[in-house]
Amino acid sequence: MTAALNHYHARMQKVLDHIDRHLDGDLDLDAMSSVAAFSKFHFHRQFKATFGLSLHRYVQLARMRQASKQLAHERGQSVTDIALDAGYETPDAFARAFRQRFAQSPSSFRKSPDWEPWLQAFTPLNSARSKIMPTTFTPDQVTILDVAPTRVAMFEHRGDPETLDITIQRFIAWRKAAGMSPKTHPTFNIWRSERRPADPADYSMDLCVGVGADQPIDTGDETVKAGEIPGGRCAVLRVTGDTHNLEPAALYLYRDWLPASGEEMRDFPIYCQRFFLDEPEQGTAAELHLPLK
C-alpha cells in the first residue's frame, strides 16, 4: 500500500473515530468533510466510494447501534430519551425504525434482546469499518485439528449473492420456528463456489444448523435438507471482530498457508463455524475449516 493511500485511509479513519465519539453532536456533511480535511463538494462521494454506504446512512446506523445498546443495558434511561439522543424527533418514529430494522419493538428488545437479527442489521456498518483496516494472518494462527462429523440441517442459497441477505433472513426465521437457538445449535456456512463467480448465478453456499443424531429435521421448506459436514483433519483459522467478509482469511489459507504447509486438501469445500462472543453485542467469531487429507 502506498504512502498516499495510507494517508488517505488515515484521514477517513479519523472521520469514523470522530463519529464514534460524537454521536450526539453535529455530524453533517460540512462537519465531517472538515474533520477529514476534504472538500465538502466531493466528500460525500469519497465517503461512499470508500465505505460502500453514504455518510448519512453510516451515522444513522451508528446512532441506532448506540441506542439499542442503551436499551439493553441502561435501564434507567427512558425510551423517549434514547430516541431523542438517536436523532429521532418522536418516540413513535424511533419505534417504527427500530421495529423495521430488528423485528422487535424497543420495549421488547429492552426486556429480551434478540441478538442474531441485531448483528445482521449492522453488517453494512461493520463491513464499512473493515474496508480500510488491513487484515493479515500468520502461520501460528492456524491449527490442525481432527474434527468430528456434524449432522446438519442445510438451508441452501443458490444464485446471485446480492440476494443472500434475503436467504439469511429466511434462515433466521426458519431456525427460530424450529427452536434451534445459536446458543444450543451451532451455526455453519459452507461455501460451494467462489465469493464472486464470473456469473453471479453460479454463486452457491449453505447456511447450516448443527443438530443431534436423533433430532428430527423439518424439511417442509424445500430449501432445507438434512446433511452432514464430514469429520477429518482440518486447518482451522479463527477470525474475530468483523466476520462479514471472511474472504481474506480464506485466501490466506488457500494461497499462503497451504502451499507452505505441504498439506493437501480433502474433497470437501472450505466452511466455517460461527460463534457469538461472550457478550453478544460485541459481535461474532468465526473458525474457518480447510479440510485436509
CA distance 76 to 97: 22
Q: What are phi and psi of 190, to 5 degrees?
A: -115, 120
- Mind giving me the DSSP string for 16-83? HHHHHHTTTS--SHHHHHHHHT--HHHHHHHHHHHHSS-HHHHHHHHHHHHHHHHHHH-TTS-HHHHH
Q: What are phi and psi of 77, to 5 degrees?
A: -95, 130
User: pLDDT-based confidence at 61, cuts 50/70/90?
Assistant: very high
CA distance 251 to 244: 15
Region(s) of the chain under CATH 1.10.10.60? 3-130
Query: Under 8 Å CB-to-CB from 222, ≥6 apart: which residues?
Result: none
Share of the chain above pLDDT 90, in %: 50
Q: Is the pLDDT of residue 236 over 70?
A: yes
Tell me the one-letter amino acid at 289: H
Burial class (CB in 10 A: 0-12, 13-18, 19+), 75: exposed
Region(s) of the chain under CATH 3.20.80.10? 139-291
pLDDT of residue 1: 55
Pick the CATH number of 139-291 from 3.30.470.10, 3.10.20.30, 2.130.10.10, 3.20.80.10: 3.20.80.10
Mean pLDDT of 100-112: 90
Burial class (CB in 10 A: 0-12, 13-18, 19+), 100: exposed
In tens, the pLDDT along 197-209 reads 889 899 999 999 9
3-130: CATH topology: Arc Repressor Mutant, subunit A (1.10.10)
Task: Decide if 124 contacts 101 (C-beta within 8 A).
Answer: no
Task: Give the residue, 276 or 78, on which the prediction is more confident.
Answer: 78
In tens, the pLDDT along 67-94 reads 998 998 887 889 999 998 888 889 899 9
